[in-house]
Structure 1
Amino acid sequence: MSRMIFVNLPVADLPHATRFYTALGFANNPQFTDETAACMVWSDAIYVMLLTHPKWQGFTTRPICPQGSSEVSLALALDDRAEVDKLVELGAAHGGTADVNPPEDHGFMYQRTILDPDGHVWEPFWMDPAFAGGEAKTEEVGQ
């Protein structure tokens, strides 16, 4: 089996959360979706499991983080700056909050944030492929 990541997130309203992630371009995998959970696929290796609060509490006795706190920030690599902006705009139009952290533009890397309806922070970003591949230094790509 190839290496994969399943990010498990507690959500207050499963249908609303599923619509939000669908609007961002995640695909629903019905094989792992029911009235307590939705499996949302970003890529062949990245899956987000949206879990109702009772389902979540079946995995841990630790409390769900209260609104306004951050338990994790999830970064998604995208192909260009325009894709970063589009994802944030789509999220804001479908119940999320854009730019809960200030956008960052380092020349070689550009990132913004989107808060989903349950307060989970996503950071779509773009990084110059020449920089990421070690072919360029920050001073060569605008920093």
Structure 2
Amino acid sequence: MHKMIFVNLPVVDLDRSRDFFESMGYSFNDNFCDGNALALVLGDAIVAMLLQRDTYQTFVPQKVVVDPLTSSGSIVCLSAESREDVDRLVDKAMAAGATVGDTEEHGFMYGRSFFDLDGHAWEIMWMDPAAAEVGPENYVAQES
């Protein structure tokens, strides 16, 4: 199966995007950054390619590139090691200018979301490893 994931997202201002994500503690792989794109490192094998809108458009010339400030086409969901890590990361996003999203509290699973400066939806979530192993429904049934 797959070994890596690259999510491509259109952005308006690469410098602003770099500042936003660096303020959250993320880094960039400068080997794949230029005036058209930034390679945002999200994990060992997870990269978000932040592409200038006109560069993004070249990948889908027959389609309209939506404005994520007014439309939604995806939610990027990333796992966290703990509930505290969820809060820490989303709080950093908020301090850097993100817009607040939803909070989900299910006991065995906790998540918070935000919208970055370009309007892309991001969710940071934690799930109890025991629930992840057996599945949420079975975990809840065992706890009852």
TM-score by length of 2: 0.89
Residue 109 of structure 1: aligned partner: 109
Kindly, what percent of the aligned residue pairs are identical?
40
Identify the residue that residue 64 of structure 1 maps to in structure 2: 65
Moved over 4 A (4+): none
What does residue 18 of structure 2 align with?
18
| 1:53-74 deviations in Å (ceiling 9; x for gaps) | 1111111121221222111011
**How many angstroms apart in 2 are the aligned matches of 1:98 and 1:115?**
7
What is the CA deviation profile of residues 1-31 of structure 1, one whole-angstrom value per residue up to 9, with x for unaligned ones?
x610000000001100111122223211010
State the 1:139 CA deviation.
Answer: 4.6
Contact 1:6 1:47 in 2 (8 A): yes
Shift of 1:140: 4.9
Secondary structure at 2:43 match in 1: coil
Which residue among 80, 86, 89 is the counterpart of 1:78?
80
What TM-score, normalized by structure 1, do the two folds share?
A: 0.90
Give the match for residue 122 of structure 1.
122
Higher helix share: 2
Structure 1 residue runs without a partner (length 5+)? none
Q: Which amino acid in 2 is paired with 1:95? A: G
- What is the one-letter code of the residue matched to 2:117? P
Q: Which runs of 5+ in 2 are unaligned?
A: none
Distance 2:54 2:90 in 1: 29
